Amino acid sequence: MFDLIKSFFSKKNDRVSGGEECQTFVVEDADEPVETGDGDYFLKELEACPYIKVEARNKVLDHLRQKVSLLKTDNKLTAGEKKELGINPRLSITKEFIEVLTDEGMALGNPKQMLEDLYYKATIEKMRDDGFAKALKVGVKKYKLEGASSDSCEWCKKSNGKEFDMNIMEKIKTNCKCKPYSRCFISPVVDFD
């Protein structure tokens, strides 16, 4: 039984039955790039995002993967430039970041928040998928949805603490309407009998 529990919480990369590689989200040092193993999660979010120019997706993808920074350059907009663009003059915004935004993105009150939400939505979905794959690998057959809060969608609130079978991921992807993203997590139900 201990080996079963240990294998579920191990941090090494494993191959799951579907042939996809599971990777953990370990941050070794905050100053170093984060290895996310994000696959197509960031790209999927970028393709659905109306605030990022299509031709700038690769640049934003590099930013999300922390290969480059669109937000921390010395090329900051002046207060006058921000005012002219209709951006809150108190925000620290770079010209590189402005170049990747569509008109809709420019109209956002805080476009940096949109980018942060996009990052967290993709990484949370990746972590949830990886955790589910590991649980399946060790034979877990029942799960609970946990972590719904007052700002969660109605489905997540109703389903919080409810037990699901192995179709929980499909249920979440079909029913969850949380904005900007779901903060819920899947808790495996382990029977020790």
Q: What would the pLDDT profile of 154-182 be if each residue is shown by its tens digit?
A: 999 999 999 999 999 999 989 999 988 88
Amino acid identity, residue 78? T
Domain annotation covers residue 127: no
CB of 82 within 8 A of CB of 91? yes
The arrangement of strands across the sheet holding 142-146 comes to: 163-164, 142-146, 185-189
Domain annotation covers residue 36: no
Same domain as 47, residue 81: yes
Query: pLDDT for 105-124, tens place per residue?
Result: 988 888 999 999 999 999 99
Same domain as 91, residue 148: no
Range of the domain at 193: 140-193
> Token pair for residue 94?
């770079």
Whole-number pLDDT of residue 108: 87
**How many Cβ atoms are within 10 Å of 129's Cβ, its own excluded?**
18
Burial class (CB in 10 A: 0-12, 13-18, 19+), 70: buried
Same domain as 153, residue 102: no
Whole-number pLDDT of residue 3: 61
The sign of the torsion formed by the CA atoms of 76, 82, 85, 88 equals positive
Where a domain ends, among 83, 117, 151?
117
> Mean pLDDT throughout 129-137?
90
Out of 25-34, 39-48, 58-67, 148-157, least confident range: 25-34
For 102-132, the three-class secondary structure string (H helix, E strand, C coil) is CHHHHCCCCHHHHHHHHHHHHHHHHHHHHHH
Whole-number pLDDT of residue 38: 52
3 state SS of 175: helix
Whole-number pLDDT of residue 35: 42
> Token pair for residue 43?
């790209």
Which DSSP helix (H) or strand (E) runs through 15? strand 14-15
3 state SS of 188: strand
Question: What does the alpha-carbon distance between residue 127 and residue 26 come to, in Å, rounded to a whole number?
Answer: 11
Domain annotation covers residue 33: no
Residue that wins the pLDDT comparison between 6 and 98: 98
Domain annotation covers residue 99: yes
Where a domain ends, among 117, 152, 171?
117
Same domain as 106, residue 50: yes
> Token pair for residue 120?
């967290």
Same domain as 111, residue 45: yes
pTM of model > 0.75: no
> Token pair for residue 145?
């949805």
Total domains in the fold of the chain: 2
Phi-psi region of 127 (alpha: psi -120 to 50; beta: other; left: phi over 0): alpha
